[in-house]
Structure 1
């Protein structure tokens, strides 16, 4: 175990070196030199997205991008290794038809030099004949995973050098970004504009050396299509409406559970929801091995739910989550995009802050008071904030409605290069 941890630390140290960043980018340049891709103004659009592994937020950004695009689009995303289509891929095919095609993008983020060369060549071949290349930054661009961040910025530089119109869309910039990632960003940003989804991130990235940074709002605010939840959830929600019982949608984050026991915190939150006379709808937002919401939602549901509460036990689409949020009196979530999908329906939402990213989002709505930092005892803090919000939820919803048109206009700026 100690040897394994030592090896991980060595790898992380290598990733954070300027030499590693240069070797990675040189590998991508060699790949482009071998493949000789060319841009075409009459060509297709390429988007590299982290979507495809059970994260509804990443899926929401991809769908919003596809909604605003026209013509052929090649999506570089996480494609199941077993050869079967994910539910997201099937939804995209049904919605957009043959104009959208898929390419496995996992290796473009994860492959390391010198083995990366084969991935670099494949990337260059995939963009041959394209007119534009976009990266959905999400949580893969500002150093959460240093190697993946460096890879994304490097490929932007390659695509821009080939002559493609490029942009990095829909991301936040954390307060403490590794220096090597900031330098890689600043090199790419000379020709590749960065679209930051909140003012705080915009200010941070400018301090990191960005010269082409545009403040926008998250792409998911531009989603306008609607759909309903699965039948079981839909029927339950309708039953609560007939019984005149308000609903609070509660997300328990698997990411937070990776580093702390949330049991006493969720107990306090659920008890407060019941005290307010509301039903609890447990909603997982990310379902995957590394930070699975469903596993922890199921555990908390088993411990604290009343017989009239409900657990959603499957991965929903972003539009289904949005529909659920629209039916809730309030939402409590540890996932940022559940906040965004809730705010887009003018539903009051309390967000747990884990990485310094939701604060900027809530500042856009002047609702910073609804952000609760994650630390020991956050459950009682959420309960207190929820109690106050409950008395003002109609007024809060009206405030959100007042802000939404301007936020949606900012969101649309993400697509100005399409």
Structure 2
């Protein structure tokens, strides 16, 4: 019986069973290893995260390409997931393989063979792990990413899973796939101390404790778009996450925060960080803007480039965000970033900065906690110096993400 004739709920259960018993990992690994040739020195291969409206994903890809000493082939799901800026466009090409991690049947096998052709002759193979390796969001693509790392390493490629987080509640098949990657010789770069501890304590080898790759990229925008070019100073960057909005009514919490910021003489810049249907920050930010009124508030309604975000952060007094990569880009400019923490990845990040109070749990009443932390930041003469001390540690740790691809190693 063809799988497409089975009801969708039953299909999902069958796929889950296939994943749990290890068939997905074994089948995908065999297909990859049968399709790929030998390593070489002509190019780097980067397996990108989903992108498609996520500034954090865009920032990770750009950081990799900016550091590379050879042409980069970027594996994506669609041709439109990423748009490289002018200064990086000549250094990389995009190869869309829509069925590689998410597909099935003959279309999936066709994309695996295409991947094999891309890998053949590569100097390195890198997979951006971010928060999609542990299977908490979607299991099968996570298993396939880790299995790709294992297969490439077994075929002799210099293979790295770049700075990723690991949830303690990860499903067992994701643990098994990651363990196989480490045993095969892939380097597993966990991007925060807590994630590294979890994976090490599970007995998985190949672990390197690092920091997010975005800490390696300091490129600023040469010019700002009109909406950001004439912001009143001083200002605070504020992000409301569409993901958190699914479970928490953030509007009254952010209204309390914005009242505090405005009372301190800070203009508020509402800044979406992910703009896509599945978890839309723009809708969340619009809801906050409608609640607090327009006085002293600017709502950004477009997806800005990472270099623009860094430039805006550079002039900010403080950042409050529900998205980790806005925190990373703010911290990388020496700006304290209060972050609504999900999945444990933010707690680990703030341990690098020895400032756990910068994490706020997403819950009813979190507005009062955000206000308290912002007050402590604004009332302290040591806030920026404290961030700078942590930034030295973060930058040093983050270099592990790029030391195998050339230019970053000697920079």
Same fold, judged at TM 0.5 (above): yes
| Aligned residues of 1:143 and 1:181 also touching (Cα < 8 A) | yes
SS of residue in 2 equivalent to 1:345: coil
What is the deviation of 1:13? Answer: 3.7
Does 2:141 match 1:148?
Answer: yes
Shift in alpha-carbon separation, 1:288–1:11, aligned structure 2, 3 A: farther
Residue 50 (structure 1) aligns with: 49
| Aligned residues of 1:342 and 1:349 also touching (Cα < 8 A) | yes
Give unpaired runs (5+ residues) of structure 1: none
Residue 293 (structure 2) aligns with: 305
Counterpart Cα distance in 2 of 1:336 and 1:285: 10
> TM-score normalized by structure 1?
0.89
Give unpaired runs (5+ residues) of structure 2: 1-5, 406-411
One of 135, 144, 155 as aligned partner of 2:127:
135
What is the deviation of 1:90? Answer: 4.2
Kindly report which structure 2 residues correspond to 1:246-261, keeping only aligned pairs within 5 A, or say none: 246-261=234-249
What is the deviation of 1:262? Answer: 1.6
Residue 401 (structure 2) aligns with: 414
Shift in alpha-carbon separation, 1:247–1:407, aligned structure 2, 3 A: same
Residue 219 (structure 1) aligns with: 213
| Aligned residues of 2:267 and 2:297 also touching (Cα < 8 A) | yes
| Aligned residues of 2:126 and 2:160 also touching (Cα < 8 A) | yes
What is the deviation of 1:362? Answer: 0.5
What is the deviation of 1:5? Answer: 9.0
Counterpart Cα distance in 2 of 1:65 and 1:187: 25
Counterpart Cα distance in 1 of 2:226 and 2:15: 46
Residue 373 (structure 1) aligns with: 361
SS of residue in 2 equivalent to 1:248: strand
Counterpart Cα distance in 1 of 2:15 and 2:140: 9
| Aligned residues of 2:97 and 2:111 also touching (Cα < 8 A) | no
Query: 1:192-220 CA distances to partner (integer Å, 9 max, x unpaired)?
Result: 11011111111011123311100111111
| Aligned residues of 1:27 and 1:113 also touching (Cα < 8 A) | no
Shift in alpha-carbon separation, 1:100–1:116, aligned structure 2, 3 A: same
One of 72, 94, 102 as aligned partner of 1:110:
102
> TM-score normalized by structure 2?
0.91
SS of residue in 2 equivalent to 1:131: strand
| Aligned residues of 1:182 and 1:209 also touching (Cα < 8 A) | no
Residue 30 (structure 1) aligns with: 31
Residue 231 (structure 1) aligns with: 226
What RMSD in Å do the two structures reach over aligned CA positions?
2.1
Shift in alpha-carbon separation, 1:260–1:113, aligned structure 2, 3 A: farther
Shift in alpha-carbon separation, 1:31–1:200, aligned structure 2, 3 A: closer
What is the deviation of 1:9? Answer: 6.3
Does 2:91 match 1:99?
Answer: yes
Residue 408 (structure 2) aligns with: none
Shift in alpha-carbon separation, 1:201–1:50, aligned structure 2, 3 A: same
Number of residue-to-residue matches in the alignment: 397
Does 2:265 match 1:277?
Answer: yes
Shift in alpha-carbon separation, 1:413–1:343, aligned structure 2, 3 A: same
Kindly report which structure 2 residues correspond to 1:162-181, keeping only aligned pairs within 5 A, or say none: 162-181=155-174
Residue 385 (structure 2) aligns with: 398
Counterpart Cα distance in 2 of 1:233 and 1:95: 21
Kindly report which structure 2 residues correspond to 1:115-126, keeping only aligned pairs within 5 A, or say none: 116-126=108-118
Counterpart Cα distance in 2 of 1:60 and 1:97: 14
What is the deviation of 1:11? Answer: 5.5
SS of residue in 1 equivalent to 2:279: coil
Shift in alpha-carbon separation, 1:247–1:417, aligned structure 2, 3 A: same
What is the deviation of 1:285? Answer: 0.4
Kindly report which structure 2 residues correspond to 1:335-346, keeping only aligned pairs within 5 A, or say none: 335-346=323-334
Residue 62 (structure 1) aligns with: 61
Residue 202 (structure 1) aligns with: 196
Query: 1:96-142 CA distances to partner (integer Å, 9 max, x unpaired)?
Result: 34331111144222123675322222221221222221100012111
Counterpart Cα distance in 1 of 2:243 and 2:11: 20
Counterpart Cα distance in 1 of 2:388 and 2:332: 9
Counterpart Cα distance in 2 of 1:358 and 1:49: 21
Counterpart Cα distance in 2 of 1:400 and 1:346: 6
Residue 186 (structure 1) aligns with: 179
Residue 386 (structure 1) aligns with: 374
